[in-house]
Amino acid sequence: MSMPHSSSSTTSSSTKRKEIYKYQAPWPLYSMNWSVRPDKRFRLALGSFVEEYNNKVQIISLDEETSEFSAKSTFDHPYPTTKIMWIPDSKGVYPDLLATSGDYLRIWRAGEPYTLFECVLNNNKNSDFCAPLTSFDWNEVDPNLIGTSSIDTTCTIWGLETGQVL
């Protein structure tokens, strides 16, 4: 079946862009999230799914000259990430933060080639057992706030500036 062709649109080979991009991660993937920062276009965070304690998070971005994704930073993560999310910062005014969940909520400061661990947020300090986090969400109106949900049926709202439960 042929598709209609508009005579008003011309496409030269120099302006043609790929429509499908692929990236082959070195391990199975469980979670991913797009960055919305205007200065970091086409950047994703990927979380591995390896059935053991040691897992990875990788930050990749598109090289617009080669039209290929490449790894910019890779770091260790305990257990697979149940969710991974960039700070909702479409204006680029906040620190370049990434949050991950698994056993706890962890905050990372993105960089190339190294991403730095900022803090772990753990509400269960009186027990050796931790109920895994199933998900979380970053407040888009106030990026200082993150809410987590846990397998133990609790929801917790965290203040990032203090690292405390609100």
Model pLDDT, residue 15? 60
Closest CA to 79 of 33, 42, 47: 47
Task: Show the beta-strand stretches assigned E in 49-125.
Answer: 54-63, 68-78, 83-86, 97-101, 105-109, 116-121
Q: Where are the domains of the chain?
A: 29-126
**Whole-angstrom distance, CA of residue 162 vs CA of residue 156:** 14
**Whole-angstrom distance, CA of residue 120 vs CA of residue 101:** 10
Phi, psi for 135 (deg, rounded to 5):
-170, 175
Model pLDDT, residue 41? 86
Mean pLDDT by 10 residues, the chain (166 residues): 40 62 95 95 96 96 92 96 96 96 96 93 75 94 96 95 94
